[in-house]
């Protein structure tokens, strides 16, 4: 394939016909998003192939043009896969980069690919494809963590310890009971991911910039081609909707909070004052000054990075809270928040699973934390079974 009929590909742009002057260099850098959104390269090419097939069905490209476009997109995908794709200075975003390279490979025929499509519905489609795929990975990692907790709970069901309320010794519990208390919120988080995935799995492609598509594209067929479950119902909402992203940011924050509580408990239990557990060296670090120190930095970072997750959620929701209806460039900020939160929450889950799987228990210390006064509630229950009103039984047990 040849690109002999190219025109100024060094500054290839998806727009600019009505402009007489180029952007200021600072504006170009300020506007560019390729360093962030190039992570969508595969989804962008998959969406473009589906779009090429869709416009072929309505006669906007012929069979020969379709085959050359698809072959060219496959070549671009191979370059990304093998790490030889060359980004250029004027590649504004992943959509520009991919289309610029396609034009270099197959010539001006590539310019037909974008017929009836806007970057507005293109990027919304790319992000949904990416997130839907990566929610499967998130569910897998959550399942692994939950199963690690369940395995240890089953293995150490006979281990007793003090249960705490207000960080005061309250009642005797099994260590397994504590572990299962972490499973419950993680199960709820898993359900939130599943519920979110249904809302993510909706195809906005074919919505155009705002007013839809005039070429009678079969959007249901397009959605099926991309393995979406449904199509979006309003072209204005389709291009502007990012609630699925801030819902993901909330779910990530919820997972972080679930793990932060666990981390705080185990930081306390790992101290010399408690010594209920011993963390593996593989999940601890030391002090640069005090040679004897073994710090639970894995757990402290779980706790700390939860604040990062909340910050991403809060920041992006503030970004979208008052922008006018339909697409605005503010929405370009969605991907940095999305990708960073996805990476962060998965690292939290994996570290938590490793910590739980490798820690050791000091069963004697856990047993020593138990004392007779912790059975005061049981004494009150005993009196209740003998017919004493609970309020009176509570008072008598307290006096005892």
Active site residues: 166, 287
Query: If you search the block for the tokens 């906005």, which residue do you land on?
Result: 204
> Which helix H or strand E contains 160, and what residues bound it?
strand 160-165
Residues 6+ apart with CB under 8 A from 242: 316, 320, 331, 334
Query: What tokens appear for 156 in the block?
Result: 């150490």
> Which helix H or strand E contains 42, and what residues bound it?
helix 41-57
As a whole number of Å, the end-to-end CA separation of the chain is 91
Cα separation, 203 vs 222, in Å, equals: 8
Any long-range contacts for 18-23 (C-beta under 8 Å, 24+ apart)?
none
Cα separation, 369 vs 121, in Å, equals: 60
Query: What tokens appear for 298 in the block?
Result: 């894995």
Residues 6+ apart with CB under 8 A from 330: 319, 320, 323
Strand partners, 348: none
Whether 95 and 127 have beta carbons less than 8 Å apart is answered as: no
Query: What tokens appear for 135 in the block?
Result: 């929610």
Query: What tokens appear for 200 in the block?
Result: 């993510």
Query: Where do the H-state alpha helices sit in the chain?
Result: 25-31, 34-37, 41-57, 63-82, 94-106, 119-155, 175-200, 219-225, 235-240, 243-269, 297-320, 334-358, 363-368, 376-385, 390-399
Residues 6+ apart with CB under 8 A from 301: 351
315 burial type by CB count under 10 A (0-12 exposed, 13-18 middle, 19+ buried): middle
Which DSSP state fits 276?
S
């Amino acid at each position: 394939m040849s690109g002999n009929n190219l025109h100024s590909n060094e500054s290839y742009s998806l727009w600019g016909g009505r402009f007489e002057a180029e952007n200021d260099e600072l504006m170009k850098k300020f506007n560019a998003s390729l360093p962030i959104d190039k992570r969508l390269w595969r989804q962008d090419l998959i969406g473009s192939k589906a779009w090429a097939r869709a416009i072929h069905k309505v006669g906007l490209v012929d069979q020969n043009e379709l085959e050359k476009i698809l072959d060219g997109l496959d070549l671009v995908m191979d370059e990304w896969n093998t790490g030889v794709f060359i980004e250029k200075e004027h590649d504004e975003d992943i959509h520009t980069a991919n289309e610029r390279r396609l034009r270099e490979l197959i010539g001006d025929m590539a310019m037909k690919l974008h017929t009836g499509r806007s970057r507005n519905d293109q990027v919304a489609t790319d992000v949904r494809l990416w997130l839907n795929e990566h929610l499967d990975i998130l569910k897998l990692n959550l399942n692994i963590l939950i199963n690690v907790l369940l395995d240890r709970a089953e293995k150490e069901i006979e281990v007793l310890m003090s249960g705490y309320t207000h960080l005061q010794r309250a009642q005797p519990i099994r260590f397994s009971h504590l572990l299962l208390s972490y499973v419950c919120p993680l199960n709820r988080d898993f359900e939130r991911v599943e519920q979110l995935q249904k809302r993510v799995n909706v195809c906005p492609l074919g919505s155009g910039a705002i007013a839809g598509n005039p070429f009678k594209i079969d959007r249901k067929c397009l959605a099926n081609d991309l393995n979406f479950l449904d199509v979006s119902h309003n072209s204005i909402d389709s291009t502007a909707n990012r609630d699925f992203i801030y819902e993901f940011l909330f779910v990530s924050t919820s997972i972080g909070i679930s793990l932060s509580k666990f981390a705080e408990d185990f930081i306390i239990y790992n101290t010399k004052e408690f010594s209920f557990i011993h963390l593996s060296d593989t999940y601890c670090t030391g002090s640069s000054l005090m040679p004897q120190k073994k710090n639970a930095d894995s757990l402290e970072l779980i706790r700390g990075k939860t604040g990062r997750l909340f910050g991403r959620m809060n920041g992006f929701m503030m970004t979208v809270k008052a922008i006018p209806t339909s697409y605005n460039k503010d929405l370009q900020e969605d991907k940095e928040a999305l990708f960073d939160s996805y990476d962060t929450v998965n690292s939290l889950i994996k570290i938590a699973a490793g910590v739980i799987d490798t820690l050791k228990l000091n069963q004697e210390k856990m047993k020593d934390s138990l004392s007779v006064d912790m059975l005061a509630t049981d004494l009150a229950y005993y009196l209740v079974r003998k017919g004493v009103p609970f309020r009176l039984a509570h008072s008598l047990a307290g006096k005892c």
